[in-house]
Homo-oligomer: A and B are copies of this chain.
Amino acid sequence: MNTLPDIYRHYQECLNRQAWDELKIFVAEYVYYNDQEIGLTGYLSMLKQNYRDIPDLYFKAELLVADSSYLACRLVFNCAPVGAFMGLPVNGRRIRFSENVFYEFRDHKICQVWSVIDKATIEQQLH
């Protein structure tokens, strides 16, 4: 568990198991998400909300690029949000979309996240 890709894979397993008591192993107390300091508590709330919105949420990395401090990941989701998602009336339909996300690590923990979700592709699937 030394390189960022190794740590990140363990982090994803933690999310996929919804092992919330382990989240603090991977995420810093003062974590920022898209330039907002949300903290570990806010990060956990966000993840729990994600699972309420998308009960079959599963994190899968399609592509990983890392150096010694930063990791970039292309995540691909294939899931069925129960209601609205990103303001779109998905309402239980199965959709496929990507998220391109960057993580900054400090002391082996995620301290910053910059995420972009492919909303345009979701819109196309609802037409």
Taking CB atoms, residues of chain B closer than 8 Å to A101 are 100
Whether a CB of chain B sits under 8 angstroms from the CB of A66 is yes
Q: Can you list, as one digit per residue, whether each of A7-44 has a CB less than 8 Å from chain B (1) or not (0)? A: 00000000000000000000000000000000000000
In the complex, the answer to whether B72 meets A65 with C-beta atoms within 8 Å is yes
Q: Give the number of times this chain occurs in the complex, counting copies.
A: 2
Give the contacting residue for A72; candidates B99, B102, B117; CB below 8 A.
B102
CB distance from A104 to the nearest CB of B (A): 8
Q: Can you list, as one digit per residue, whether each of A52-69 has a CB less than 8 Å from chain B (1) or not (0)? A: 000000000001011100
Complex CA distance for A102 and B71, rounded to whole angstroms: 12
In the complex, the answer to whether B74 meets A102 with C-beta atoms within 8 Å is yes
Complex CA distance for A56 and B112, rounded to whole angstroms: 30
Give the interface SS of chain A, mostly helix, strand, loop or mixed: strand
In the complex, the answer to whether A86 meets B116 with C-beta atoms within 8 Å is no
Beta-carbon nearest neighbor of A103 in chain B: B65
CB distance from A32 to the nearest CB of B (A): 13
23 A-B residue pairs with Cβ-Cβ distance under 8 Å, sorted by A, are A63-B70, A63-B102, A65-B65, A65-B66, A65-B67, A65-B70, A65-B71, A65-B72, A65-B102, A67-B67, A72-B100, A72-B102, A86-B120, A87-B123, A98-B114, A99-B116, A100-B101, A100-B102, A100-B114, A100-B115, A116-B117, A116-B118, A119-B120
